[in-house]
Amino acid sequence: MHANPETKRLADQVWRLGSGQESSEGPTLGLGQQLQTNTTLHNPSGYIVADPSGSIIFATTRALRWLTEYFGNSHHTSLPAVLRDWLKGRSLELFNANDLGVPLKGLSFRRGSKRLTVESLSAMQSPDYRLVLSEADDGLDAKPLEGLGITKREAEVLLWVSQGKRNAEIAVILDVKPKTITKHLERVFEKLGVETRTSAANVALDLLQHKTPR
């Protein structure tokens, strides 16, 4: 995944605004009002600059809103643990003399039918993390699956199974424990008269491809 030139230009502006502006009172969210307006009106992305520890130096309003929607209310001053771990892990993977200038690949998170993608524009040796966030709606709808005689939650689980998601991934998407997903699937298998997730996925895909929501 590679950001387009306009995205990179705006991200570079964010980085220049954020660099050297750390404050013990928290992220400098008042920086770059003109940039905030520009990204809100003309660019659908959100931007974050964070230091190596994951503390947020600068963030646009859209980026902070997405952090809240996807990761909870406690991430206005620091990156969520999953993002910090990803950045550290990817940096280790890129610890190769031939890859020092290579930006990290994007990471995606789902919330219902929506998908948040986080992309790092920083090379491994950069002193800051420069992140670009974007959201897309995949248009996935579990409602038609309720016609199989399963509950709304079971339909949501089955939908993600049909998209190739593992139980642990579905648990993150639906904000429940993996064991809960396992229980839901057991009931789905019983109601559909199947024994494997592949068979259940095929039933779901057949319905989604040939039926329209009621």
Q: Which residues pair with 110 in a beta bridge?
A: 115
- State the DSSP code for 78: B
Confidence of residue 23 (pLDDT cuts 50, 70, 90): very low
**What's the pLDDT tens digit per position in 105-164?**
678 887 766 789 898 887 666 778 889 998 887 677 889 999 999 999 999 999 999 988
Region 5-14 average pLDDT? 54
Residue 114 to residues 42, 117, 138, 141, 173, Cα–Cα distance (Å):
21, 10, 6, 11, 10
**What's the pLDDT tens digit per position in 38-95?**
444 345 689 999 998 999 999 999 999 999 988 887 668 999 999 998 888 765 555 5
Predicted local confidence at residue 129, as pLDDT: 87
Predicted local confidence at residue 55, as pLDDT: 93
Q: Which domains does the chain have, with CATH numbers?
A: 5-137 (3.30.450), 143-210 (1.10.10.10)
Predicted local confidence at residue 163, as pLDDT: 85
Q: What residues have CB less than 8 Å from 80, skipping those under 6 apart?
A: 67, 71, 72
Predicted local confidence at residue 176, as pLDDT: 87
Predicted local confidence at residue 193, as pLDDT: 96
User: Rounded distance, CA 135 to CA 79, Å?
Assistant: 17
**What's the pLDDT tens digit per position in 154-203?**
999 999 999 888 898 888 888 889 999 999 999 999 999 999 999 999 99
Asked whether residue 36 carries a pLDDT value surpassing 60, the answer given is: no
Predicted local confidence at residue 26, as pLDDT: 38
Q: What is the DSSP string of 100-133?
A: TTPPPPPEEEEETTEEEEEEE---TT-SSEEEEE
Predicted local confidence at residue 38, as pLDDT: 42
Predicted local confidence at residue 95, as pLDDT: 53
